[in-house]
Amino acid sequence: MTHSALASRYASALVDVATGPRSGVDPDQVLRDLRSFAEVFTGSPELRNALTSPSVPPARKRAVVGRIGEKLGISRIARNFLFVLSDRRRIAMLNEDLEAFELLLDERLGFTRAEVSSAGELNQRQRDAVARQFEHLTGRKMRMRFAVDGGLLGGLVARIGSTVYDGSVRGQLEALGKRLLSE
């Protein structure tokens, strides 16, 4: 997913603060805090309306964000970021900012992202094994996202950057067919 330049700027500033030597908080915790707020924000049309409406005074929006943040127990850094978004009327773009933050944070912390699709749901042991395999293959720490693809007969397909690793049954059958045709 591509992000707007504005989302990238906000995310970059947040990464700088969250990973700074004086942040006093785990950057992954900041992400979890913001995701929990985003879940509440997305799940409540009334809250979305109140925080995005130009007719609601900024001080009132800050009070609402502060109260919700307090109830959720979010960190000072996450709360301050939400205040900035609210003050600058960017709160509606919270999910876009979070996606950009997560990408930049992974990059800063040395993680490589992988999207893995499998025919069925993988249990935690299988997910860990897949992650270890790709860490060994790439020599980098991996941040994996798993999804189920009903179009796969079996196996899995992984995308790391622009490289696709096709370990699906369909992929193996296609490779076998090509080999047989070339002989």
Instruction: Evaluate whether 54 touches 89 at the Cβ level (below 8 Å).
Output: yes
Q: Do strands 163-166 and 156-160 pair parallel, antiparallel, or not at all (unpaired)?
A: antiparallel
Q: Which residues of the chain have pLDDT under 70?
A: 1-3
End residue of a domain, out of 107, 141, 171: 107
Task: Report the alpha-carbon distance of residue 114 to residue 147 in Å, rounded.
Answer: 11
Taking only the tens place, the pLDDT of each residue in 26-71 is: 898 999 999 999 999 999 999 999 999 999 999 999 999 999 999 9
Q: How high is the pLDDT of residue 3?
A: 61
- Indicate whether 97 and 120 sit together in one domain: no
> Token digits for 63?
């009070």
End residue of a domain, out of 69, 92, 107: 107
Q: With a threshold of 0.85, does the pTM exceed it? A: no
- The domain spanning residue 44 has which CATH number? 1.10.520
End residue of a domain, out of 107, 123, 144: 107
Write down the H helix ranges in the chain. 5-18, 27-43, 45-52, 58-72, 76-87, 94-109, 124-138, 169-182
Taking only the tens place, the pLDDT of each residue in 52-63 is: 999 999 999 999
Angle at 29 between CA 38 and CA 118, to 5 degrees: 75
- Indicate whether 88 and 149 sit together in one domain: no
- Indicate whether 84 and 126 sit together in one domain: no
